[in-house]
Chain A
């Protein structure tokens, strides 16, 4: 080719030159044709190979699809399962990809680690797209080198926490660059969501995300946004970690339902500790641990590969996975905990067990995830109801969810106010919350409840807003029920069926 160019150059330079005879031109032409021929053949070969590879990928995807369908529950919705590496265009394409990847995550091998980065990013991108974000602009704003007026208050805590972020890879001189990136991501998130800002524990989340996206700060921010803004319950990290407290309380109820013996044992230890300390107060024993697990999504208490599996699952199945994993862990530890005879002994034992969980793979990740998926249908029965209930009624010692106890509990101001601000408004709100329509109460109770709501709204605006929130939840439930089956009369017994009905309607929705 080089040679040809030189010839061309000569031709150009000496347009009138007759020095180049026709023979030479013919030679050049011949050579050109020959080389074109070679290149065409090469191109053709490559195109064919590309076709073959595309087919192969397609075939492999089909194999995966077949495998997924084979292991699925073979419902109608499962037959539509189609596995693709990337979502095809349009909302349908994304949904198809999402369903398939969700099924992959449920397999015992889980999402292969080579895919993880791309999978997480696709999810995050889809979310950002759905809320119509101009990402370039966001990047310019959040990663701006110049400081913002608001930065100071947020930045200080980040800087303070940063030098001590304990991921082993972040200490020492070489990690300086990693730390800079981590700080930039945390600050970027704080700028993105000023309401949440920075919460201790974020550094742990961000460090894990950065590890998955191989240090790309923009990608890390996307995933961080998706996780905190979309996947986890609202105000998990703000407002005195209200939603977190709610989930801690919800968790204790789930523990009572799923592991009644362990739950009973822990309650007894707590009660004894309360009695013994003569006026002291022993918070629910599980709190110390669930709090940490929930806030860091297990990043500080389980081995890395297990944590990543859990996160995959959280991204696809939602925050209820966190509660499920916690239940699975307690179930596993239950036997050893039931040997403890005092609260102190319990804490000592747990200190040892948590260490073992982190270091010795006490819980096998595959087994753990199987327990997580099989413990209850999706969505977790009663979870939404319990979350709603506790959002308006956080008490450290929730009584068992028995419809009969409702009237007795109403209006009773709890003396243990430790998870609740001990003001009167809250006491009323508690009473209203107790009567949450989903906890299976009876029709007469409902009328009383509505009266109470009317009564209490005169008392204060705050309570009114709480009550309307609660009330608004109720008609929707009715409407849904009507849609399901108009013949069902709104009688007490039916309310107890509501969770079940919800579940059915959920299935219905997924099928159609």
Chain B
């Protein structure tokens, strides 16, 4: 599957993806210039592995005209906002409109992600209102943190599972080969970013 990650700049799109695909959190990361991509395998049920190709996008407004070309080759997407940044939450609506216009008549299965939930003390968006917004658009809502590796795995696998279900039901038609495992730049071991962190922590103790 191809997933796209969108949202305002500095909400943590690249960090979330890095945590998911590489199992680490970088304190410092470059702003994404244009688009970037990552891939990883996920196991959504025993023996059922799906290769995800995740597209990262630049958040700055002037990149929009270039990044939007990549909406249409994605079947699913994570729409991120930063729970400590009210503005990024307010822009969620705009992002949805933007994608809707550009993928019509097709659809992208989105999940709304409230990112940086480790910074609960600086929270500016309540879980309740985010859930309400997500429900209004028929999306799931999940809160994640790349720093503490909270729900990162879940966000991606849940989305993948949902898409998989839709595909099985035939709501989304997908050509052959999308779900298959292909050779190439795919790590053989399906590692879980959360497990990695736990083991790291044990080492530190």
Would you call B175 and A281 a contact (CB within 8 A)?
no
Q: Given the known A-B contacts A157-B9, A201-B33, are A344 and B69 also in contact in the complex, defined by CB atoms under 8 Å?
A: no
Contact A292 B60 (CB under 8 A): no
How far, in whole Å, are A347 and B34 apart by their CA atoms in the complex?
Answer: 15
| CB-CB under 8 A for A348 and B186, given A295-B34, A418-B68 | yes
Number of A-B contacts (CB under 8 A): 126
Contact assessment for A200 and B37 in the assembled complex, using a CB-CB cutoff below 8 Å: no
CB-nearest residue of chain A relative to B51? A344
In the bound complex, what is the Cα–Cα distance between A295 and B65 (angstroms)?
15
State the majority secondary structure of interface residues on B.
loop
The answer to the question of A241 belonging to the interface, with a C-beta cut-off of 8 Å to chain B, is yes
Question: A469 to chain B: which residues have CB within 8 Å?
Answer: none
Q: In whole angstroms, what is the CA distance A292 to B32 when docked?
A: 9
Q: Does B121 contact A (CB under 8 A)?
A: no
Query: Does A277 count as interface, using CB distance less than 8 angstroms?
Result: yes
Whether the Cβ atoms of A345 and B28 lie closer than 8 Å is: no
B60-113, CB < 8 A from A:
60, 62-66, 68-70, 72-74, 102, 105-106
Chain A contact-residue range equals 35 or more
Assess whether A349 is in contact with B69, with CB atoms less than 8 Å apart.
Answer: no
Residues of the A chain whose Cβ atoms lie less than 8 Å from the Cβ of B38: 351
**Nearest CB on A from B173, distance (A):** 6
- In the bound assembly, the distance between CA atoms of A200 and B33 in angstroms comes to 6
**Do A165 and B70 touch (CB < 8 A)?**
no
Is residue A282 contacting chain B, with contact meaning CB distance below 8 A?
yes
Instruction: Report yes or no: A342 in contact with B60, Cβ–Cβ below 8 A.
Output: no
Query: In the complex the two chains form, what is the Cα distance from A204 to B28 in whole Å?
Result: 13
Assembly CA distance A239 to B66 (angstroms): 11
Q: Are A170 and B184 in contact, CB atoms less than 8 angstroms apart? A: no
Chain A residues with CB below 8 A from B33, complex form:
200-201, 204, 291-292, 295-296, 300
Q: Is B199 an interface residue (CB 8 A)?
A: no
Q: Do A419 and B60 have beta carbons less than 8 Å apart?
A: no
| B9 lies within 8 A of A160 (CB) | yes
Q: Is the CB–CB distance between A238 and B62 below 8 Å?
A: yes
Specify which chain B residues have a CB less than 8 angstroms from the CB of A352 in the assembled complex. 185
- Distance in Å from the Cβ of A207 to the closest Cβ of chain B? 10
Tell me whether A348 and B39 are in contact (CB under 8 A): yes
B53 an interface residue at 8 Å Cβ cutoff? yes
Among the listed B30, B174, B177, which residue makes an inter-chain contact with A166, where contact means beta carbons less than 8 Å apart?
Answer: B30
- Return chain B residues, CB-CB under 8 Å to A163: 28
Task: Report if B152 contacts A (CB, 8 A).
Answer: no
Bound-state Cα–Cα, A69 to B177, Å = 59
A279 is an interface residue with CB less than 8 A from chain B: yes
Is there contact, CB below 8 Å, between B73 and A161? Answer: no
Q: Are B63 and A200 in contact (CB under 8 A)?
A: yes
Q: Does B138 contact A (CB under 8 A)?
A: no
Q: Does B183 touch A at the CB level, under 8 Å?
A: yes
A245–B67 Cα distance when bound, in Å, is: 11
Q: Is A280 located at the chain interface by the 8 A CB criterion?
A: yes
Instruction: Report the nearest A residue to B85, measured CB to CB.
Output: A160
Is A349 a contact of B184 with CB atoms below 8 Å? yes
Whole-angstrom CA separation of A344 from B73 in the bound complex: 11
List residues of chain A with CB within 8 A of the CB of B65: 240-241, 245, 419
Chain B residues within 8 Å of A160, by CB? 9-10
Bound Cα distance A199, B58 (Å): 11
Chain A positions 277-293 with a Cβ under 8 Å from a chain B Cβ: 277-283, 287-288, 291-292
Residue A273 CB within 8 A of the other chain: yes
**Is B27 in the interface zone, CB < 8 Å from A?**
yes
From the candidates B26, B102, B106, B175, name the one contacting A276 in the complex (CB within 8 A). B175
Contact status B185-A241, CB under 8 Å: no
Q: Which residues of chain B are near A278, meaning CB under 8 Å?
A: 173-175
B133 at the interface (CB under 8 A from A): no
> Chain A residue with minimal CB distance to B58?
A200
- A345 vs B58: C-alpha distance in the bound complex, in angstroms? 23
Expressed in whole angstroms, the Cα–Cα distance for A299 and B70 within the complex equals 24
Residue in B58, B72, B174, B186 whose beta carbon sits within 8 Å of that of A418 in the complex: B72
Given contacts A283-B73, A288-B34, A419-B69, contact A161 B62 (CB under 8 A): no
Q: A171 to chain B: which residues have CB within 8 Å?
A: 27-28
Instruction: Say which residue of B32, B59, B175 sits within 8 Å of A277 (CB atoms).
Output: B175
A396 within 8 Å of B by Cβ? Answer: yes
Chain A positions within 8 Å of B43 at CB level = none
Can you offer 5 A-B residue contacts whose CB atoms are under 8 A?
A: A241-B62, A280-B74, A348-B39, A348-B182, A349-B185
